[in-house]
């Protein structure tokens, strides 16, 4: 298939592109490089520097290429920032997907995969969380993903565009080939921050609260390896190509690890003491988020291959150790 990947220079997008190319697909990456890295894009992908808010640039992209499907990653992704600058998120993320869907429908693209989020489950009644849980976005960022999901629903009804929304839990790890990995500025995620302490780039890890109602008092999250996420995207696209209908799937490994368990594992993997101290709770954090991914397992045959936290952290460490300055080292 010939696929458009927006945000293909970003963390998750670049891993999906890598796997798509390994599996023989043709890929066009469209990315404005505001957060992504040119060096993260596989050399066999066609790279187009452009912004989804620039309608003429988008029209030119669709005039030049005929796509069998679209995978949409490009968006602002910081939960905390979205609460401080809500209009940036509302305007950019929603305009971007609107412009993209307008072009997609005008050019009769029939398959779309949306990078969505577990931030849609702000008040889960049952953990592990299934897709039947009520959608209550936990931030303006989550709301923009919810709007995108609803837009896709209407695109299917009106134009017959088939879509899959993948609601990720905590993406982590890096491609074992060592060429690509996580490089966010600023970094806010637990595993890269912990590994930056091991590298001496930060003094210590601040644990955001140890008085939660969990066995060790720290928050529990469902970490999923970025290549397992990537595999799910490709399965979803292939299912649509084989005639499957529109779906929403939760995507996690199904196992929860606390902040302290992640820290302890990172100490073992790196051989570094990784100093840490307990700080205040981070506003908005829920004590425990674990995915029930039964639906995607049974419908698409998806199964996480990197299914323990040690392997996930090992692949991340392989990337960070060899690229302490991220893509600037490439
Ligand atoms: N966390 C932490 N210190 C940090 C960063 C994160 O204690 O410097 C905790 C955070 O409170 C959460 C977990 O680690 O419980 C995962 O946070 P992350 O930001 O990686 O992902 P989120 O679950 O917020 O999407």
pLDDT score, position 330: 52
Specify the residue with its C-alpha closest to ligand 1, atom 1.
Answer: 190
DSSP string for residues in 35-97: SS-GGGS-TTSEEEE--TT-HHHHHHHHHH---SEEEE--S---HHHHHHSHHHHHHHHHHHH
For residue 176, pLDDT beyond 60 = yes
Question: Smallest Cα–Cα separation from 285: which of 202, 213, 195?
Answer: 213
Gap between the Cα atoms of 82 and 122, Å rounded: 15
Residue 169 Cα: closest atom of ligand 1: 25
List, for residues 210-231, the tens digit of each pLDDT value: 999 999 999 999 999 999 999 9
Cβ–ligand 1 distance for 193 under 6 Å, the answer yes
Q: Is 77 in the pocket of ligand 1 (CB under 6 A)?
A: no
Please confirm, yes or no, whether 141 is among the known catalytic residues: yes
Query: pLDDT per residue over 45-72, tens digit each?
Result: 999 999 999 999 999 999 999 999 999 9
Cα dihedral sign for 224, 155, 41, 237? positive
Across the range 292-301, mean pLDDT stands at: 98
Tell me which of 11, 121, 141, 212 is the catalytic residue: 141
Mean pLDDT of 179-202: 95
With a 6 Å cutoff on the Cβ, whether 282 touches ligand 1 is yes
What six digits make up the tokens of 43?
Answer: 């050399």
Structure tokens belonging to residue 240: 């649509």
Instruction: Say if residue 186 is preceded by a cis peptide, omega within 30 of 0.
Output: yes
Q: Residue 283: what pLDDT?
A: 86
Predicted confidence at residue 32, as pLDDT, reads: 98
- Say if residue 329's pLDDT is above 70: no
Structure token pair of residue 242:
């084989």
Q: Tell me, in angstroms, the distance from the centre of ligand 1 to residue 296's CA.
A: 25
Q: What SS3 class is residue 291?
A: strand
Report the nearest-CA residue for atom 14 of ligand 1.
Answer: 190
What is the reported pLDDT for 235?
98
Angle (CA) 105-51-56 rounded to 5° is 60
Question: Residue 328's pLDDT band (boundaries 50, 70, 90)?
Answer: confident
* Any ligand 1 atom below 6 A from CB of 276: no
Rounded distance between C-alpha atoms, residue 102 and residue 90, angstroms: 18
- 27-51 average pLDDT score: 97
Tokens of 209: 């609260």
Average pLDDT, the chain: 97
Q: Does 85 have pLDDT greater than 90?
A: yes
Residue 274 CB less than 6 A away from ligand 1: no
């Amino acid at each position: 298939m010939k696929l458009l990947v927006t945000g293909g220079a970003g963390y998750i997008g670049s891993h999906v592109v890598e796997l798509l190319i390994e599996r023989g697909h043709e890929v066009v990456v469209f990315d404005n490089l505001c957060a992504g890295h040119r060096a993260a894009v596989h050399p066999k992908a066609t790279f187009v520097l452009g912004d989804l808010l620039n309608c003429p640039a988008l029209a030119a992209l669709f005039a030049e290429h005929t796509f069998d499907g679209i995978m949409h990653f490009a968006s602002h992704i910081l939960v905390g920032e979205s609460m401080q600058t809500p209009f940036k998120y509302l305007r950019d993320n929603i305009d971007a997907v609107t412009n993209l869907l307008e072009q997609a429908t005008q050019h009769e693209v029939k398959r779309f995969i949306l990078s969505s989020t577990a931030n849609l489950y702000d008040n889960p009644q049952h953990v592990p969380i299934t897709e039947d849980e009520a959608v209550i976005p936990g931030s303006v960022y989550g709301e923009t993903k919810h709007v995108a999901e609803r837009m896709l629903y209407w695109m299917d009804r009106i134009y017959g565009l088939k879509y899959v929304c993948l609601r990720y839990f905590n993406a982590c790890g890096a491609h074992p080939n060592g060429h690509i990995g996580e490089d966010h500025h600023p970094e806010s995620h637990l595993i890269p921050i912990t590994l930056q302490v091991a590298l001496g780039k930060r003094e210590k890890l601040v644990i955001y609260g140890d008085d939660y109602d969990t066995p060790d008092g720290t928050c529990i999250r469902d970490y999923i390896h970025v290549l397992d996420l990537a595999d799910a995207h490709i399965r979803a696209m292939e299912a649509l190509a084989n005639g499957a209908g529109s779906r929403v799937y939760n995507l996690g490994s199904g196992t929860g690890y606390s902040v302290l368990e992640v820290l302890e594992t990172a100490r073992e993997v790196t051989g570094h003491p990784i100093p840490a101290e307990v700080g205040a709770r981070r506003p908005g954090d829920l004590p425990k988020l674990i995915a029930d991914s039964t639906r995607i397992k049974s419908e698409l045959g998806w199964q996480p291959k990197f299914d323990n936290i040690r392997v996930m952290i090992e692949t991340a460490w392989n990337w960070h150790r060899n690229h302490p300055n991220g893509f600037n080292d490439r």
